[in-house]
Homo-oligomer: A and B are copies of this chain.
Amino acid sequence: MSPDRVVITNDIRHILGQYLQEHSFSGIAVLVDENTRQHCLPHINELLENAVVIEIPSGEVNKNLDTCKLIWQLLTEACFDRQGLLINLGGGVIGDMGGFCAATFKRGISFINIPTTLLAQVDASIGGKLGIDFSGYKNHIGVFSTPDHVMSDPVFLDTLPEKELRSGFAEVIKHALISDAEYWPGIAQHEFSAQDWPSHIQHSIKIKKQIVAGDPTEKGLRKILNFGHTLGHAIESYFLTHPGNHLLHGEAVAAGMIMESYLSADKLGIPGNEVSEIENFIISVFDKIPISEKDLEPLIDLSIQDKKNEKGIINFSLLKRIGQATYNIPVSRLEMKEALRRYMSIR
């Protein structure tokens, strides 16, 4: 798997136009949802006169096989061949699912990602993890395959609801916590409204690319990117099937990072003041998630299905210090339960 070619631009139309001129595709399709069709497609529409627009309903609940079938069917009806291009214009759901559909259509056609959310720009569009949810589990079916190109333009963030911006911020925080202690104060000393997004995008892409390049298929080092995600994914999956408590990915991961900081203290001895710093800052930005005692066992059961577990042991990626993560730390059900309870008790 080659490393992602990622460009950050202030002129997406120019960059995409150049790319399409340099390549000769037999057909072009653009995958959008109702939001990116309205707010993002107009930025590039004039380059795509003959393109097939495939619109799917937005949201993680639609990141499933039924939506893939729709995408594959429309590519088929458009007589797409292996020299076709799929442009994924949207957030993580569009990028992950569109990439999976492209990587499996006729055993693989070209695709590029134009991430339109902060979350997708700083995380989902980098690293070649593609997939869909299945049977209640996140990204349960998928492949590793990198887009031919990733083109990020901060202009797309202007139309983003604040909630979405906050969701992406969780991954920015994570990247500093797992591998850049020096970058952390610049985040933690500012309120949410005073964050420097262009700088954060640049920084997150750099960190994530470095980590992925050393371990593209997650045999080892790459697992540190899962900090906050073992419990975070479980929380996200759990509330996905409990309507009325809809959570964004980053909101769940933010809670997961607090809980996994507690585990980091138990298992790796991260200093207590650093745990407090993490807890206080995250709670100042993200609403606390209403988890109650009855949710604990189902949440732990969901964690066991997580892809990074091996042989029934629940392995976590945890922090030794702010800026230093390590992986494959086995944690018992009881310890997980305690971390969840400690989160529940935050005032």
Taking beta carbons and an 8 Å cutoff, which residues of A are in contact with B? 26, 65, 69, 72-73, 76, 79, 81-83, 103-108, 129-131, 134-135, 137, 139-144, 217, 304-305, 307-312
Can you offer 15 A-B residue contacts whose CB atoms are under 8 A? A26-B312, A65-B65, A72-B141, A76-B137, A81-B307, A81-B311, A82-B310, A104-B141, A104-B142, A106-B307, A107-B131, A107-B143, A107-B144, A108-B217, A143-B143
Q: Is the CB of A108 within 8 A of B143?
A: yes
Cβ contacts under 8 Å, A139 to chain B: 107
Q: Is the CB of A305 within 8 A of B76?
A: yes
A83-B143 CB under 8 A given contacts A72-B135, A73-B135? no
Cβ contacts under 8 Å, A134 to chain B: 69, 72, 76
In the bound assembly, the distance between CA atoms of A319 and B105 in angstroms comes to: 29
A72-B140 CB under 8 A given contacts A107-B131, A131-B107, A304-B79? yes
Cβ contacts under 8 Å, A304 to chain B: 79
Q: Is the CB of B305 within 8 A of A103?
A: no
Q: Is the CB of A307 within 8 A of B142?
A: no
In the bound assembly, the distance between CA atoms of A152 and B145 in angstroms comes to: 30
Closest to A105 in B: B141
Beyond known contacts A76-B134, A83-B311, A107-B129: 17 more, CB 8 A cutoff: A65-B65, A69-B134, A72-B134, A72-B135, A76-B137, A82-B308, A83-B310, A103-B143, A104-B142, A105-B141, A106-B140, A107-B130, A107-B131, A107-B142, A107-B143, A107-B144, A107-B217
Cβ contacts under 8 Å, A79 to chain B: 304-305, 312
In the bound assembly, the distance between CA atoms of A137 and B143 in angstroms comes to: 22
Closest to A135 in B: B76
Q: Is the CB of B26 within 8 A of A307?
A: no
Cβ contacts under 8 Å, A81 to chain B: 307, 309-312
In the bound assembly, the distance between CA atoms of A308 and B311 in angstroms comes to: 41
Cβ contacts under 8 Å, A69 to chain B: 65, 134
A76-B310 CB under 8 A given contacts A69-B65, A107-B129? no
